[in-house]
């Protein structure tokens, strides 16, 4: 990156009072593109995700390391009024403040939008919660609860089985990306109006916005969507198939039906594309019970690699169902510069994913490892104008904690 092309969010100061995944993963994206993200953590244990799940070298949560690069950490006793006053002081010249407590909690802390915007009218203030304001607002919710509440679990799983969680934290991830967008929109608006504003985001609302095809079909027909296992809900064929040695996804898309004859040719059943009962996507959906076993029998005759060659030759939608190890070692992932790493002083090299938004002149970059708890407490308070003596006193009284 040249000196003439600083990252797009350079100079943007973010106070990050979020925990777990949805909030921290949103602020990771801000930090990757140059924002100075100050992660405010409770002194005792820090963000709870530091100790949740699998640990790296029995020291710190692997999830925390994924969700908290590109940040600085200050550790405070959040029950102490002096600590809350310090947060207000940090927010006085910040550009963005992000919190993900349940509605009402942040007001009791004296860190609500009305309080902070009175101190800093240019502040972009983001409130992220599981459900937002409303009857569900007071109740706790993380990814599995929101998957269940949103209806996503009701359409995930096999037709004859029970509802299943999506295999990734889809509610957290969706909310994180919507939060990232919200911050950028807030900054863009402020550039025009000169004023900050409050941005409210709920994980439930964000995940409902991702229902797309399932919700469109429900509204069009009035029917409840059902679980389809590995099959697409509105296109046939387009699903996971058992091969001779594994699984693959293959199918057509409904753009003019041009792929159906090519699909049949790749599968070695070219004559099937001429049968009137399967001539259109609508007919194939209607006759799925007859068509699906025919196709499934063919897929079991060859290996996944053989099918990949045949379907790619015909330009038909296809992918092996890869394990994590398989996709991470795939030559495309290497050539597309998707993987990255960071050096951590305690843990060594940490694998990471590069920012997925690729800007040719002002790309994101990974240049700050996930911080130790309170690693930057001193420097952050010094930047806020506190003297060494004042900082020492805050540390001695337990209001502030440092990594040492």
pLDDT tens, position by position, 341-366: 999 999 999 999 999 999 999 999 99
d(CA 352, CA 261): 41
pLDDT interval class at 2 (50, 70, 90): very low
What pLDDT sits at residue 4?
62
Long-range contacts of 359-367 (CB under 8 A, 24+ apart): 359/8, 361/5, 362/1, 362/5, 362/6, 362/7, 362/8, 362/33, 363/1, 363/7, 364/7, 364/29, 364/32, 364/33, 364/34, 365/1, 365/7, 365/32, 366/32, 366/69, 366/70, 366/340, 366/342, 367/70
Percent of the chain past pLDDT 70, that is, above it, reads: 98
pLDDT tens, position by position, 108-138: 999 999 999 999 999 999 999 999 999 999 9
Worst-scoring range by mean pLDDT, 158-167, 178-187, 250-259, 337-346? 250-259
Residue 52 gets the label, from left (phi > 0), alpha (psi -120 to 50) or beta, of: beta
What pLDDT sits at residue 57?
93
User: For 323, what's the count of Cα atoms within 13 Å in the CB-facing half-sphere?
Assistant: 3
What pLDDT sits at residue 142?
94
Domain boundaries, the chain: 13-210+358-401, 238-328
What pLDDT sits at residue 257?
86
d(CA 165, CA 170): 9
Q: Is the pLDDT of residue 3 over 60?
A: no
Q: Is the pLDDT of residue 318 over 70?
A: yes
Report the first-to-last Cα separation within the chain, whole angstroms: 34
d(CA 272, CA 281): 14
Contacts of 296 by beta carbon, 8 Å cutoff, 6+ apart: 241, 242
- Identical fold between 13-210+358-401 and 238-328: no
Average pLDDT over residues 249-263: 89
Q: Is the pLDDT of residue 249 over 50?
A: yes
For 13-210+358-401, CATH gives: 3.40.50.10540
Alpha-helix runs per DSSP H in 222-369 = 259-267, 281-286, 288-299, 304-314, 324-328, 331-335
pLDDT tens, position by position, 20-58: 999 999 999 999 999 999 999 999 999 999 999 899 999
Our answer to whether residue 172 is catalytic in this structure is yes
Architecture of the domain delimited by 238-328: 2-Layer Sandwich (3.30)
From the list 172, 274, 337, 343, the catalytic residue is 172
What pLDDT sits at residue 1?
42
What residues pair up with 352 in beta bridges, in sequence order?
340
d(CA 398, CA 361): 45
- For 219, the 3-state DSSP assignment is helix
Cβ atoms of 285 and 236 within 8 Å: the answer is yes
Average pLDDT over residues 252-262: 86
What pLDDT sits at residue 94?
98
What radius of gyration do the chain's Cα atoms show? 25
Q: Classify residue 52 by its DSSP letter.
A: S
- For 73, the 3-state DSSP assignment is strand
pLDDT tens, position by position, 61-102: 999 999 999 999 999 999 999 999 999 999 999 999 999 998
pLDDT interval class at 5 (50, 70, 90): confident
Q: Is the pLDDT of residue 211 over 50?
A: yes
Contacts of 338 by beta carbon, 8 Å cutoff, 6+ apart: 353, 354
Strands (E), 54-159: 55-56, 60-61, 71-76, 96-99, 124-129
Single out the residue of 53, 175, 172, 72 nearest to residue 126, CA to CA.
Answer: 175
């Amino acid at each position: 990156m040249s000196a003439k092309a600083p990252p797009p969010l350079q100079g943007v100061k973010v106070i990050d009072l979020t925990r777990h995944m949805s909030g921290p993963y949103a602020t990771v994206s801000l930090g990757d593109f140059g924002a100075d993200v100050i992660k405010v953590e409770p002194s005792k244990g820090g963000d709870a995700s530091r100790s949740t799940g699998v640990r790296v070298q029995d020291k710190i949560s692997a999830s925390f390391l994924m969700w908290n690069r590109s940040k600085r950490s200050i550790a405070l006793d959040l029950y102490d009024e002096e600590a809350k006053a310090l947060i207000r002081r940090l927010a006085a010249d910040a550009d963005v403040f992000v919190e993900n407590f349940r509605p009402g909690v942040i007001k009791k802390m004296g860190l609500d939008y009305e309080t902070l915007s009175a101190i800093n009218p240019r502040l972009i203030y983001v409130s992220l919660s599981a459900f937002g304001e409303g009857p569900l607002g007071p109740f706790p919710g993380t990814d599995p609860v929101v998957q269940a509440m949103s209806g996503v679990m009701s359409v995930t799983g096999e037709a004859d089985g029970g509802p299943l969680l999506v295999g990734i934290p889809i509610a957290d991830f969706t909310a994180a990306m919507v939060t990232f967008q919200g911050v950028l929109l807030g900054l863009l608006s402020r550039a025009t109006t000169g004023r900050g504003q409050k941005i409210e985001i709920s994980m439930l609302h964000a995940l409902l916005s991702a229902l797309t095809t399932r919700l469109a079909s429900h509204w069009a027909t009035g029917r409840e969507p059902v679980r389809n296992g590995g099959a697409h809900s509105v296109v046939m064929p387009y699903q996971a198939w058992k091969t001779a040695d594994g699984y693959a996804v293959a199918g057509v898309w409904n753009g003019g039906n041009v792929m159906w004859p090519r699909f049949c040719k790749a599968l070695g059943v070219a004559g099937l594309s001429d049968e009137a009962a399967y001539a259109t996507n609508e007919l194939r959906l209607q006759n799925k019970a007859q068509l699906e076993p025919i196709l499934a029998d063919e897929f079991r005759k060859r290996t996944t690699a053989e099918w990949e060659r045949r379907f790619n030759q015909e330009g038909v939608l296809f992918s092996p169902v890869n394990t994590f190890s398989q996709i991470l070692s795939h030559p495309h992932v290497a050539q597309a510069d998707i993987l990255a790493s960071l050096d951590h002083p305690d843990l060594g090299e940490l694998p990471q994913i590069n920012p997925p938004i690729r800007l040719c002149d002002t790309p994101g970059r990974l240049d700050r490892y996930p911080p130790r708890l309170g690693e930057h407490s001193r420097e952050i308070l010094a930047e806020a104008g506190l003297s060494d003596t004042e900082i020492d006193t805050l540390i001695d009284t337990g209001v502030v904690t440092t990594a040492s």
